[in-house]
Chains A and B, each alone.
Chain A
Amino acid sequence: MSIQVIVGSFILIPLLGFLLSLFVPERSEAVLSRIAFITSALELIGSIGFIGYWLVLGSPEINIPEFVLFKGSGYEFLVDFYFDKITAVYLLVGAFLTFLITRYSRYYLHRESGYKRFFNTILFFYLGYSLTIFSGNFETLFIGWEILGLSSFLLVAFYRERYLPVRNAVKVFTIYRIGDVGILLAMWASHHLWHENISFMKLGNYNLVHEQLQSHSAIGLFISLMILVAAAAKSAQLPFSSWLPRAMEGPTPSSAIFYGSLSVHFGVFLLLRTYPFWEHQFVVRLIIGLVGASTAIVGFTIARVQSTIKSQIAYASISQIGIMFIEIALGLHALALIHFAGNAFLRTYQLLVSPAVVSYLIRNQFYHFTGRVKTFEDYLPRRLQYSLYVLSLKEWNLDLLLNRMVFAPIKRLGKYLDFLSMRNVLFYFIPTYFFGVLLRIQEEILPIQLLEWLPEIIAILGLLMVLKSFSERNNPYLAWVLILLNHAWLALAISFNEHFDWLHIGLYLSGFFPAGILGLFCLYQLKKHAPEYFNLNQYYGLVADFPKLSFVFLLASMGLMGFPISPSFIGEDLVFSHIHSDQFLLATVNALSFVLSGIALIRIYARLFLGIHARHVHETPYKSS
């Protein structure tokens, strides 16, 4: 068997398992859990066998160009796999834990409504996991990365009839998405640095990297920092830490596997994977070490004042991951890998047995109670002690900071855009758009200075659409159409760049438009049947009334956010490749648009379909649950 087939099958098995599980009826618990069990068992056996074989070969680093998804002039989208010791460790730990968790959940989830959804999502997550760890270039990694983000959202919001899980799911998705800006910009910049979609294999080539970075040290630093942003967001490092405890809303085994072990260590993975790229940039290593060190300390203090078991484990894990960041920055990779595996196992187990903490500690207390235990903090000066306690209790204001840095400004900006009513959009912006298209065809009539800045100006117009969509409270149609328009504006903006290719623009828009129309159709249906809840003021939980429509709308949203189920995903990457290396602003605006439109879309989906069911025809949960 060729190595291509073997490695490919590590992706194919979860993909097949996932697709198969979608078609199993809701109530067939045994079939669902068996599919998940067999999928993970095959992966585990396969990984042990393959790693054994690979060790016999002398553990070489292998690059496996799998297949080309798209090829155009000066551009190809290559699905590329890579296997080295990092992949090996992640593969083994991931397969082992997923195998155990699927078996565990088979019983644990018995009779839970959403049994099917749970296993669908676990398999979907596992697909994303495998893709990410096997990825041989940024493009492939990004596919896996996107799947991880969405499956996380779905698992945090598993109890979708309640308020807090849904709100926190949106929060987690948002932070993942912010991390994605990092990956997108790193991809864009590295595309220009290497003039190709560089494989991680080549990144390990010291001479090649060194030579490039000598002449482009600024761009090298930029790429590294973007990678760090992505890694910090995924691994809940500063300043993103507060999402991790809040993600513990799903059934305990899903929290254990996602936020205790696998998902949260992806930042570590990304840093290990890209290490050859930044190892000779001392500043980068210093920054990574500092981020790790400060997270380790802050996480440590927060963990000490947690009175809930899951948040305590979460913060303890965060601070260990901070130490892993330091280890990686120091170049201690073997140690970081052992640390990762041990931490993943330990936290998974601690979370799984967390309900037992009551009987265990109460019994312990019953036999060993000595009164209040003094800790080192008790010896600190009182003012320092209290200040530290309050700070830790408030999670060092991290959650507040995120709200203030991310959500509040966007909302404020959105408020200025109130003039973007449905009417104005239809009567002014759509005609303006066509005027823009006309200009593009007749671009020679435009002055050259304007032409130079036109892409940016148009892209910013697109970004404004997204901002308004994000803060829109009333009209779901408007919020949806604005996202659609944003893509159109971006396409126009890029088309003013010189390497213009109709095929590329076509590919870019080919996924968005069908998804956009499908979404409009769903909204139309929803408005027809539930007009009283047709706004974005609060969560309406309409999935209870329209489960099928809700699923279709989720698919449409995925399409419109350029999720790797639609050709627009490649178009997205393609569009980035058309942004010149000196167009930082355009690249940033484009990345922001991409990321924010995803958040805006998930917000529309969540508000309409998730949360407490607005029709109180059955028992309703408290908002505080």
Chain B
Amino acid sequence: MDTAIMGILNRLRHYLPAQAPLKDFIHHNTLHAFQREEFFAGLQQASQIFGYKVLLGIEEYRALYHQGKISEEALQSVVNTSDLSMEPAQVLTKMLQEDSSVQYDGRVGQLRSVWKNHYRINIDKVSHPILFRLAGNYLDQGISIWNFPLHEDGFLASIRELQAGSISALFKSSRVRKLLDDPDTSLRQLLEILVGDSKLFERYLFDQQFAHPGWSGMVAVLERNPESLLDKRRISLTDFIILELLLEIDFLDRKFGNIWPSLSQSVSESFPDLFAPVEPDESFQIRSLWQRAYEWTYYDQVLSGLQCAPTEIIAPVESDSFQALFCIDDRSCSLRRYVELQEPGVRTYGTPGFFQVEFYFQPEEGKFLTKVCPAPVQPKVVIREYNGVKKYKDDLHFSKHSQGLLGGWFISQTMGFWSAIQLLGNVFRPAASPAMVSSFQHMDRDAVLGIRQEGHSSEWEGLKLGFTEEEMANRISSLLGSIGATQHFSPLVYLIGHGASSVNNTYYAGYDCGACSGRAGSVNARVAAWMANQPSVRLILQSKGIIIPDFVQFIGGLHDTTRDEIEFYDTENLSKNNASLHQKFAQKFNQALSLNAKERSRRFNLLSTRDTAQRIHQQVKLRALSLFEPRPELNHATNAICIIGRRALSQQLFLDRRAFLNSYDPENDQDGIFLTGILKAVAPVCGGINLEYFFSRTDPHRLGAGSKLPHNVIGLLGVANGVEGDLRPGLPTQMTEVHDPIRLLVVVEQKPDFILSVLAKDSSTRQWFDNNWIHLVAIDPDSRQLYRYENGQFRVYHSKAAKPPYLKDWNQLIESTEDNIPVHLLTKMK
């Protein structure tokens, strides 16, 4: 084992993008590699070492200031508390006036520019196309018709065999062929030929791999998680780099013969350690001050609004209205508001959308298991689907026959004309087609689910089939307990998961529920509701102190966030009384959905927001089926805060879909078990979403995926621009352009000391807050006093924003602007 090289490879793996293949797209912090540093320190490293643009440009901040999106008060506050060694007035001048030219030139890439400057060769132009093509063809999950001839020993072995068996050569240089043929050829050996001096190895490999971070990152991910490919492949970063080095040596051999000076012989300047400490950068510090002011301008609005919440919380009484549990997702934020407006007696809750039931789902005829719980959780149970009726339609346009000679000849002359009609149809009247992804297709509503474990012997692919009564009761009790809904049940309790529909969208997995590993939450909602309805389960719950009266029934449902539709499951089991109640409530849901669609439509192109909610809703539904709509919905764009507390804390606020809402009862959490669980999920999930949007927005070229319009699908794994480009991880600009890049603020309704004791138990969660990648503020449940978490402790904090204005006419407000709407109060306060 060559430890020096291993060390370099491990550092590479650490810094490369960690995005999974498209089907498993899950949001994560793009700059996760720097997360052990303080936020701005980490960002500055990322910027100076890798050349990323990690904050907005100074002009952008100034523009925000002039538009009033950065407030005077917040600006003053950061100026006064800045740790720059100069007078506040001087800081202010620098922020507002002075020109500072920033160069986004990282250290990475400097060494390899020697090829161009000294050797006058464009080495990447030759090696990249063949490298990408070999990797793409090898890993391809189903685009190519003729598959890569695989060798069981993996990537490099397959290429070795291909080269040995082919008359047409992949490598021209005989030296390179010998090196390839020898399975003992090591990275070090190749680097010695190419680079020479071992001091330069690390910089060379970083330069080389970060010339195409997309492919390298994908290889590193697949090396770590080979199971994310349905069609299995073996690949390692080492193999991939060896291949690239061989391609480079081959090129140099062809160009200069077998004798050429290694890179280090041609380097005159010195190249210090890539990760040497970064130099202080005043312009970066100035921009980080702007960033703080930008963030606190908005946070203060929210915090002032939260302080308006009543301190006396009236205990809910049983009513004929209903209760509804939604996902913590920011897209549920506005829907909940409308449901509450439609049905004043309703009580809504937020909880991660897998509803505390973690399992693998296998649809009928599905060949694989689908994980439907947060990605880090490893479930032990499979739930299978039986007796379904839904079948998928095929679409000949994706048929491989059309790419053949005779098949193509026949298909183009026959179906080609059908394509014309279909295109005409879709352009003028979008309709459902096999090409689309519909959240309702995730599960067949008419099929039966095997939720209960039958006997002890039922195993499936090494996992248990279904849950036992005890396991079910545990899950339901932790679900209800964590959100503080353990008594005063209404006759109907809805569990609403969410998913999305779109067509022509390679990011479809990112639109579904993150708590269900990028799948729709329908199965989970249905399973959890079914469990809660079982008398045997309720019996066990009773012993845990949760008494659910017999007249109470749970209903699972799925909210399609793109089309704003809800589908309910197993409603045929409702009692007569509940059935008629449900009919009434379903109406309310529909009205709320239309209003929600109208609110969303203000950001949609060419829809008139002034129309009636019903008419707009119709158009919103059609949009989801339109081939030409690159923004079927705006997903998590504009997310900014996460509120953990009782609904009474936030119910009076208009938060414009910007909040993740997790219900939590501060008075009902012994030993902080529930808060621990909630924070453990919120930090990586909401924090990951927030930071991915953040960095894809600040640097769409290097951290985001750029515009999705020219994207080309590669091997069903990822996208690239055109046919020759590197894979593009990150989010496309169409998803992030309306996003305000501010960090997540988590507000917890709980005593500061209590939160500290919870954080003390979980260092990995605490790191997010300690290093300021997420902000944390506690709001006292009794006094509504604010405490800001800084440097490991809470300090009293006073919001600098005034009490938010009262919103008289939300309809008019929605129609007035496409932009983010400031926080408003929905009820008149004294």
Once bound together, how far apart are the Cα atoms of A363 and B404, in whole Å? Answer: 23
Once bound together, how far apart are the Cα atoms of A81 and B694, in whole Å? Answer: 57
Once bound together, how far apart are the Cα atoms of A581 and B707, in whole Å? Answer: 53
Partner of A107, one of B213, B629, B702, B722: B629
Establish whether residues B713 and A357, one from each chain, have CB atoms under 8 Å apart when the complex forms.
yes
Q: In angstroms, how far is the closest chain B Cβ from the Cβ of A71? A: 44
Which residues of A (288-327) have their CB < 8 Å from a CB of B? 296-297, 300, 303-316, 319-320, 323
Q: In angstroms, how far is the closest chain A Cβ from the Cβ of B120? A: 10
Given contacts A100-B423, A393-B137, contact A624 B124 (CB under 8 A): yes
Interface SS, A side: helix
Establish whether residues B707 and A159, one from each chain, have CB atoms under 8 Å apart when the complex forms.
yes
Given contacts A358-B506, A383-B165, contact A107 B147 (CB under 8 A): no
Binary B-proximity of A377-394 (CB < 8 A = 1, otherwise 0): 100001101110111111
Establish whether residues B710 and A349, one from each chain, have CB atoms under 8 Å apart when the complex forms.
no
Binary B-proximity of A353-392 (CB < 8 A = 1, otherwise 0): 1111111111111111101110101000011011101111
The answer to whether B308 has its CB under 8 Å from any CB of chain A is: no
The answer to whether B392 has its CB under 8 Å from any CB of chain A is: yes
Once bound together, how far apart are the Cα atoms of A387 and B169, in whole Å? Answer: 8
Establish whether residues A353 and B710, one from each chain, have CB atoms under 8 Å apart when the complex forms.
no
Establish whether residues B423 and A345, one from each chain, have CB atoms under 8 Å apart when the complex forms.
yes
The answer to whether B606 has its CB under 8 Å from any CB of chain A is: yes
Q: In angstroms, how far is the closest chain A Cβ from the Cβ of B309? A: 37
Given contacts A349-B419, A357-B143, A362-B141, contact A620 B51 (CB under 8 A): yes
| B629 cross-chain contacts in A, Cβ below 8 A | 107-108
Which residues of B (670-723) have their CB < 8 Å from a CB of A? 698-702, 706-716, 719-723
Once bound together, how far apart are the Cα atoms of A439 and B395, in whole Å? Answer: 73
Establish whether residues A389 and B166, one from each chain, have CB atoms under 8 Å apart when the complex forms.
yes
Establish whether residues A312 and B128, one from each chain, have CB atoms under 8 Å apart when the complex forms.
no
| B341 cross-chain contacts in A, Cβ below 8 A | none
Establish whether residues A623 and B701, one from each chain, have CB atoms under 8 Å apart when the complex forms.
no
Q: In angstroms, how far is the closest chain A Cβ from the Cβ of B13? A: 19
The answer to whether A110 has its CB under 8 Å from any CB of chain B is: yes
Establish whether residues B142 and A619, one from each chain, have CB atoms under 8 Å apart when the complex forms.
no
Partner of B144, one of A245, A296, A306, A618: A306
Given contacts A307-B140, A307-B715, A359-B437, contact A343 B720 (CB under 8 A): no
B310-318, B406-414, B488-496, B780-788 - interface stretch? B406-414
| A323 cross-chain contacts in B, Cβ below 8 A | 405, 409
Establish whether residues B402 and A311, one from each chain, have CB atoms under 8 Å apart when the complex forms.
no
Query: Of all chain B residues, which has the CB nearest A159?
Result: B710
Binary A-proximity of B30-57 (CB < 8 A = 1, otherwise 0): 0000000000000000000001110001
Once bound together, how far apart are the Cα atoms of A389 and B161, in whole Å? Answer: 12
Which residues of A (330-366) have their CB < 8 Å from a CB of B? 338-339, 341-350, 352-366
Which residues of B (394-427) have their CB < 8 Å from a CB of A? 394-395, 397-398, 402-405, 408-409, 411-417, 419-420, 422-424, 427
Once bound together, how far apart are the Cα atoms of A517 and B170, in whole Å? Answer: 49
Once bound together, how far apart are the Cα atoms of A252 and B712, in whole Å? Answer: 8
Establish whether residues B365 and A367, one from each chain, have CB atoms under 8 Å apart when the complex forms.
yes
B98-106, B295-303, B796-804 - interface stretch? B98-106
Q: In angstroms, how far is the closest chain B Cβ from the Cβ of A366? A: 6
B258-266, B463-471, B660-668, B724-732 - interface stretch? B724-732
Once bound together, how far apart are the Cα atoms of A336 and B152, in whole Å? Answer: 46
| B505 cross-chain contacts in A, Cβ below 8 A | 355-356, 359
| B708 cross-chain contacts in A, Cβ below 8 A | 355
Once bound together, how far apart are the Cα atoms of A75 and B363, in whole Å? Answer: 76
Binary B-proximity of A115-140 (CB < 8 A = 1, otherwise 0): 00000000000000000000000000
Query: Of all chain A residues, which has the CB nearest B420?
Result: A345
The answer to whether A246 has its CB under 8 Å from any CB of chain B is: yes
Given contacts A305-B144, A308-B723, A362-B230, contact A354 B713 (CB under 8 A): yes
Establish whether residues A309 and B713, one from each chain, have CB atoms under 8 Å apart when the complex forms.
yes
Establish whether residues B435 and A624, one from each chain, have CB atoms under 8 Å apart when the complex forms.
no
Establish whether residues A343 and B723, one from each chain, have CB atoms under 8 Å apart when the complex forms.
no
Establish whether residues B408 and A320, one from each chain, have CB atoms under 8 Å apart when the complex forms.
yes
The answer to whether B791 has its CB under 8 Å from any CB of chain A is: no
Once bound together, how far apart are the Cα atoms of A106 and B629, in whole Å? Answer: 10
The answer to whether A177 has its CB under 8 Å from any CB of chain B is: no
Query: Of all chain A residues, which has the CB nearest B60?
Result: A618
Partner of A307, one of B53, B136, B508: B136
Establish whether residues A619 and B230, one from each chain, have CB atoms under 8 Å apart when the complex forms.
no
Establish whether residues B405 and A296, one from each chain, have CB atoms under 8 Å apart when the complex forms.
yes
| A621 cross-chain contacts in B, Cβ below 8 A | 701-702, 706
| B52 cross-chain contacts in A, Cβ below 8 A | 619
Once bound together, how far apart are the Cα atoms of A347 and B402, in whole Å? Answer: 10
How many B residues touch A, CB cutoff 8 Å? 119
Q: In angstroms, how far is the closest chain B Cβ from the Cβ of A571? A: 38
Establish whether residues A342 and B412, one from each chain, have CB atoms under 8 Å apart when the complex forms.
yes
Query: Of all chain B residues, which has the CB nearest A250?
Result: B710
| B424 cross-chain contacts in A, Cβ below 8 A | 100
The answer to whether A616 has its CB under 8 Å from any CB of chain B is: yes
Q: In angstroms, how far is the closest chain A Cβ from the Cβ of B637? A: 13
Establish whether residues B503 and A383, one from each chain, have CB atoms under 8 Å apart when the complex forms.
no
Q: In angstroms, how far is the closest chain A Cβ from the Cβ of B287? A: 13
Establish whether residues A623 and B211, one from each chain, have CB atoms under 8 Å apart when the complex forms.
yes
Establish whether residues A618 and B57, one from each chain, have CB atoms under 8 Å apart when the complex forms.
yes
The answer to whether A520 has its CB under 8 Å from any CB of chain B is: no
| B710 cross-chain contacts in A, Cβ below 8 A | 158-159, 165, 248-252, 255
Binary A-proximity of B132-146 (CB < 8 A = 1, otherwise 0): 011011011111111
Q: In angstroms, how far is the closest chain B Cβ from the Cβ of A364? A: 8
Given contacts A107-B628, A343-B416, contact A390 B367 (CB under 8 A): no
Establish whether residues A353 and B504, one from each chain, have CB atoms under 8 Å apart when the complex forms.
yes
The answer to whether A111 has its CB under 8 Å from any CB of chain B is: yes
| A165 cross-chain contacts in B, Cβ below 8 A | 710, 721-722
| B165 cross-chain contacts in A, Cβ below 8 A | 382-383, 385-387
Q: In angstroms, how far is the closest chain B Cβ from the Cβ of A456? A: 35
The answer to whether B167 has its CB under 8 Å from any CB of chain A is: yes
Q: In angstroms, how far is the closest chain A Cβ from the Cβ of B207? A: 12
Once bound together, how far apart are the Cα atoms of A320 and B416, in whole Å? Answer: 12
Binary A-proximity of B618-631 (CB < 8 A = 1, otherwise 0): 00000000111111
Establish whether residues A369 and B146, one from each chain, have CB atoms under 8 Å apart when the complex forms.
no
Establish whether residues A619 and B416, one from each chain, have CB atoms under 8 Å apart when the complex forms.
no
The answer to whether B577 has its CB under 8 Å from any CB of chain A is: no
Given contacts A104-B628, A366-B230, A367-B367, contact A304 B146 (CB under 8 A): yes
| A355 cross-chain contacts in B, Cβ below 8 A | 504-506, 708, 711, 713, 719
The answer to whether B97 has its CB under 8 Å from any CB of chain A is: no
Which residues of B (365-392) have their CB < 8 Å from a CB of A? 365-368, 392
Establish whether residues A617 and B168, one from each chain, have CB atoms under 8 Å apart when the complex forms.
no
Which residues of A (48-97) have their CB < 8 Å from a CB of B? 96
Once bound together, how far apart are the Cα atoms of A538 and B162, in whole Å? Answer: 36
Establish whether residues B167 and A387, one from each chain, have CB atoms under 8 Å apart when the complex forms.
yes
| A424 cross-chain contacts in B, Cβ below 8 A | none
| B142 cross-chain contacts in A, Cβ below 8 A | 361-362, 364-365
The answer to whether B154 has its CB under 8 Å from any CB of chain A is: no
Given contacts A303-B145, A355-B711, A386-B166, contact A107 B626 (CB under 8 A): yes
The answer to whether B737 has its CB under 8 Å from any CB of chain A is: yes
Establish whether residues B415 and A365, one from each chain, have CB atoms under 8 Å apart when the complex forms.
no
Binary A-proximity of B13-28 (CB < 8 A = 1, otherwise 0): 0000000001100000
Binary A-proximity of B558-577 (CB < 8 A = 1, otherwise 0): 00000000000000000000
> Which 5 residue pairs are nearest across A and B when measured between Cβ atoms?
A342-B416, A349-B419, A346-B416, A251-B709, A386-B165
Q: List 24 A-B contacts (CB under 8 A).
A: A107-B606, A111-B605, A246-B723, A251-B707, A297-B405, A307-B133, A308-B143, A308-B712, A310-B723, A320-B409, A345-B419, A353-B504, A357-B713, A362-B23, A366-B230, A366-B367, A366-B368, A375-B145, A385-B149, A387-B165, A387-B166, A390-B166, A619-B52, A621-B706
Known: A350-B397, A620-B51. 17 other contacts (CB 8 A): A104-B627, A111-B737, A159-B706, A165-B722, A246-B723, A304-B146, A316-B402, A339-B409, A341-B416, A354-B712, A355-B713, A356-B627, A361-B142, A362-B141, A369-B230, A385-B165, A394-B170
